[in-house]
Each structure stands twice: as C-alpha cells, then as structure tokens.
Amino acid sequence: MKNFEQSVEKAMADGVILGAVVCAKGKVNYSKAFGNRILTLKAEPMEQDTVFVLASMTKLMTGIAALQLVERGLVKLDDDVASLLPVLAKQPILTGFEEDGTPITKQRTGPITLRHLLTHSLGGSYDFASGDILRWRKIQNTLGKPGVTIEEAFGHPLLYEPGESWCYGTASDWAGKVVEALSGLSLEDYMKQHIWSPLGVKDITFWPAARPEMANRMCSMSIRDTRSGKAVQSRKPIAMTPGAKEAFGGQGAYASMGDYTEILNSLLVDDERLLKKETTAVMFQPQLSGGSRLALNEAMSNPQWAVGYYPQGAYNWGLGGLLVEGKTESSWRKAGTMLWGGAINSAWFIDRATGVCGVFGCNLLPSADPQIEVLMKGFEEEIYKKSAEEERPNSRL
C-alpha cells in the first residue's frame, strides 16, 4: 500500500485533507489512520477507533435491517407498506407548476413497497437532487428548516409513481420507519440487537452525544476553504440531522471505520451473522429495470453529485447500494460490486467476486470533493492490486 500511503501523506502536506481512516478486509486485511481528527486547542491524532459521520453510509445498515424482517416473515419485498407510513402515504405526486407558481399535483395510484424504499424508486427526492422539490419547499417556506422527525423533514410530494423511475432521496429514511413499525423497536435498539451486537461491534450509534466514550473520539468536521482551497477545521459543528428526535435511517448514524468494515465483511464472506446466504444473494442482484434503470444510469452519467469514484459504465441498484452491472472504466471492479458513499466524503465497496471490501473515512465538506475522490480511487486500486498479488503462486516467497 506504499503508493496509496504516499499519496495521502502528500495530500495532507498540500492541505487537501486533514486526515482519514481506511480499512479493508477479505483477501486483503489493511487498516491505517492518517493525520489528525482535531486541531483546535490541542492536536489529536486520527486513530483506528475515531468516530465519523456516516451520512448516507447509514443506508446500508437500514437495508440489512429491512431484509432481516423479510427473513422473519414480517413483510415481503413487494408488500404495500403505505399503511405503516401514513404521512408518506397521503403525499401526492408533483407534476409541475402553474405560471403563478402554484404546484400541480395528482394522487398516487400504485402501492409503496419495501423494494421501492430500498432501491430509491419511491419518488421521494432530497431537495438538493431535485429542482422541483427545492421549488416546492420554497413555496411552502420550509427550505432551510430541517425537520426533527422524518415526517417533518421529508413529508413532501413524490416525483413519480413508485417504481416508474429513479431518484436519489429519502426512501431509506422511510424504510427505517417501516423497521420500527414492524419490530416495535427504535431503529437504534433494533440495529444494536440485530446488527451491531451479533458482530460484536460497539462503536456505532445514532446518538453519540449519549455515549461519552464515543463522543470524545469524534472526528472534527473540516471544510474546503474557498480562498486557499485547503482543508481547514470548521469553527462550528456541522450536523447532518440537527435537532433530530428520531433515528434517520438514510443518514443519521456515526461509527468508527473499523466497526463499519465488520458489516461490510459479514456480507462479503457470507458468514450469516446478519443475513442468510440466500438473502445476501438477492441483496446483490440488480433490482431496477425499464424506466427506473434508465433514470439511474442517466444520473450516474454525470456523477459529480455522488460521493465516491463512479467512472462511466453500466450501473443498477441492489437492496443495499449501487451495483456495477457491467464493464466500467474501473476495470478492476467486477460485475456485482456494491458500493456507495456518504455526504462527508466517505465511501465503501464490497466486491464478492474478487473477495475484498473496504471503506474510506473522512469528515470534509463540501460533498463529493473531487480531490478526495482521487484518494478514494487510489485506495481501491491499491487494494485490488494487493489482492491480485495474494492470488499469485509463491507470492509470499
């Protein structure tokens, strides 16, 4: 991993990044902490147990939780779960605006299924991903007013009939509400009992403030200074879900990268501590077709909005993240590789065909920083290179 480590060291010297923690498992077992997690008052080095904002990397855990409920027979992927989500169920479909700005809507006619929620084919978009939702929120005077519950934050119209298209958005947060409704547990308690504890991990939570031993290891937020272009520590705390009163299954968790990697590795090696082998196989199968698949690939044809390295190629969506469906310009990734990122410039991947998984942890804004994308790509390339070396006969002689 010499080339990657040198590139990170240079990036820190150049002010591109203040620090990072990276982990990989499978055919390659590697972990390393770089730089500092905090600079103000007294510099504190980045450690293996430093806690990061997961942001949208939370979505993978919510997908696992939902699939566990499918395994237990509490719900099927194509069951209509609208009755469990009354605020979402009453939302119309936004079709446009009158000349005077009045929204034009129509009533939803189809079901809302768990599959729609796990594949972002629901129609519920984040405002940053949709000009129409942004405009609607301005009209409603809710823009810039983050809700403290999922209903408050995301109780806005859909953009299309569920299943007919694709847009990145609020679906995983609603999936978390389904998990709570069917399990009778808060999302935090459910994941603790059925995801984190079975893996023996303790450094994941939606509520770090209630866990002083974790809060004291939090990575500070850094930002890209607009004048110098260098990474600097933010003078103010930046929260993904400020004032949240419930767990947001699409963006609200915090974790050390080592503990998060244990989740990736369980899916990689099929140890059945989280999901049965047959369920994991379905999780890694393409779920989108027709208009929804076309819409996803159109969005990924210009992926500057997405955190991670996404070269041109064929993509689909599984039940836990983006899937590489065919050849891409990153020739090392095999078809079926699942991957995604979080808004604070962290990203993960699982390649079951090659036998490797990994995560790049960083706390920096703005999202989808192109300079950090270069480091993410370098990390992945080195992991695959090392994996290939491990497969060569007598490679250790």
DSSP state of 219: P
| 56 is a catalytic site residue | yes
- Check 59, 192, 377, 386 and give the catalytic one: 59
Residue 297 sits at φ, ψ, to 5 deg, of -70, -30
Distance CA(256)–CA(258), nearest Å, equals: 5
Cα angle: 317, vertex 319, 322; to 5 degrees: 30
Q: Can you tell me which residue has the tokens 């272009």?
A: 229
Distance CA(253)–CA(265), nearest Å, equals: 19
Residue 148 sits at φ, ψ, to 5 deg, of -90, -5
Distance CA(148)–CA(354), nearest Å, equals: 41
Answer whether 148's CB lies under 8 Å from 243's CB: yes
Q: Which pair of structure tokens corresponds to residue 297?
A: 């690939």
Answer whether 128's CB lies under 8 Å from 177's CB: no
Q: In what helix (H) or strand (E) does residue 339 lie, and over which residues does it extend? A: strand 338-342
| 330 is a catalytic site residue | no
Distances (CA, A) of 272 to 179, 288, 329: 20, 25, 32
Answer whether 376's CB lies under 8 Å from 17's CB: no
Torsion of CA 363, 364, 369, 375, to 10 degrees: -50
Residue type, 306: A
Distance CA(301)–CA(304), nearest Å, equals: 9
- Check 126, 160, 168, 315 and give the catalytic one: 168
Share in percent of the chain as helix, strand, coil (round to 5): 35, 20, 45
Residue type, 4: F
| 276 is a catalytic site residue | no
- Check 25, 56, 160, 310 and give the catalytic one: 56
Strand spans (E) along 102-219: 103-106, 204-205
**Any residues with CB less than 8 A from the CB of 171 and at least 6 apart, and which?**
116, 117, 118, 119, 120, 121, 122, 124, 250
- Residues involved in catalysis: 56, 59, 168
